[in-house]
Structure 1
């Protein structure tokens, strides 16, 4: 075979084995470890799950980390194709199309191990000082309950250390976020606390695909399909494990 013909044949063979991407998607999110953070392995748990599912659906992607308000506006304007970490909100359906749930955020109370405190309803906790991160929203009922003794702090690390030191009786945080930060605390703090069984609230996590992208419905359908397949073939569970979940 002439040299030129061999080169053409080789190039054709390479095309057959290389993935053919429908389009290159622009992904965005704010910094929210362990879900999305450019300093973490593969951009964090949510970023890894989303980019893997999209790649399996035939979409290459690039990720840009920006503040939340800019990310949401960028999806609405069409600057970004996909917001990685969105809770469902009716108003946001004017900006993009939601996928099905791919992760579940559970906001849970954390107490000292020896403390017998229980949680079935918020009224039970009115006498218990609770460390909360200033500016956070936890649930509509919790945020609106003025009888709760909320002690504002700068971050979860401060809250859980106050809990371990018996300066408050509870703190509250998304379970995955809490586990991420607890793994970085001292053994003294980590071993002193535990989650209460009942969650305060649950929020499903979705991608939000910009309505400015003419293939938004197709992107969502492909993503949902591949998430289901990843759960069936074990690759979803492997990603969770790789990220310490």
Structure 2
């Protein structure tokens, strides 16, 4: 009789943990206008929340948002201190610690472009011209492989593209690197003095994909599996394309196995 009671209590405890597991998802968000806003606002906002809210509402799950610099957000996700982050480029290194959702909701055929002050009369015609220049890079961001692995370049970590532009205007760096489409859009939204900036001739064209990523621990939960399934349904039904359209992003491809 005692064994049966104990077994029943054990099952109740298990059920309680199961319920607790699916009541909240922690989303880390960095300040990256126009795709996300965390500074000078009452509540964080942006595309990743536009996508997740209808899913979590259907599932009866609460979203907890944590605002952080990009590199800190990545660290929290990798350490399992957060569950979800958006807008991440998929790399072999990141795949060792994170789980990426497909299809990507940001799909750009753009360039990694280097920006300088127009008045600096600086010219970068090929990759080798980058040497000896102070280059602002967003801390923790992924670019193209040669650039990311090159330890001989003078890279100056910054917390956002906005800070990179400000450092450029103050002559604290010579260049900053950004995805051309998103950087141009962000600078126009932030009303930064783009007329003072020049795009350098050298650039690296690439297909650039921004994904939702889960921490490995969260990816193993039933909640993550349900979010993944609903997310892919939204891609196939055109709902994701409707959500990304106001951000001037191209249609999201359908999901296929």
- TM-score (ref. length: structure 1): 0.60
The equivalences for 1:52-91 within 5 A come to 52=53, 54=55, 60-65=61-66, 67-68=72-73, 69-74=75-80, 80-90=82-92
Q: Which residue of 216, 219, 229 maps to 2:224?
A: 216
Is 1:131 aligned with 2:135? yes
Residues 126 and 147, structure 1, Cα contact 8 Å, conserved in 2: yes
Matched residue of 1:33: which SS? coil
User: What does 1:1-245 align with in structure 2 at a 5 Å threshold?
Assistant: 24-34=23-33, 35-39=35-39, 40=41, 43-52=44-53, 54=55, 60-65=61-66, 67-68=72-73, 69-74=75-80, 80-90=82-92, 97-100=99-102, 101-104=104-107, 107-113=112-118, 117=123, 119=125, 121-126=126-131, 129-133=133-137, 135=139, 137=141, 138-145=143-150, 148=153, 150=154, 152=156, 156-157=161-162, 159-161=164-166, 163-164=168-169, 169-175=174-180, 176=182, 179-180=185-186, 183-184=189-190, 189-196=193-200, 198-199=203-204, 203-209=208-214, 210-228=218-236, 229-232=238-241, 234-238=242-246, 240=247
What is the deviation of 1:124? 4.3
Over aligned residue pairs, what C-alpha RMSD do you find?
4.1
Q: Structure 1's 41 and 95: CA in aligned 2 closer, same or farther, altered over 3 A? A: same
Contact 2:23/2:62 (8 A) holds in 1 = yes
Query: 2:51·2:240 contact (CA, 8 Å) conserved in 1?
Result: no
Q: Say whether the 8 Å CA contact 1:57–1:223 is kept in structure 2.
A: no
Write the distance in 1 (CA, Å) between the matches of 2:140 and 2:219.
Answer: 29
Distance 1:182 1:203 in 2: 20
For normalisation by structure 2, the TM-score amounts to: 0.58
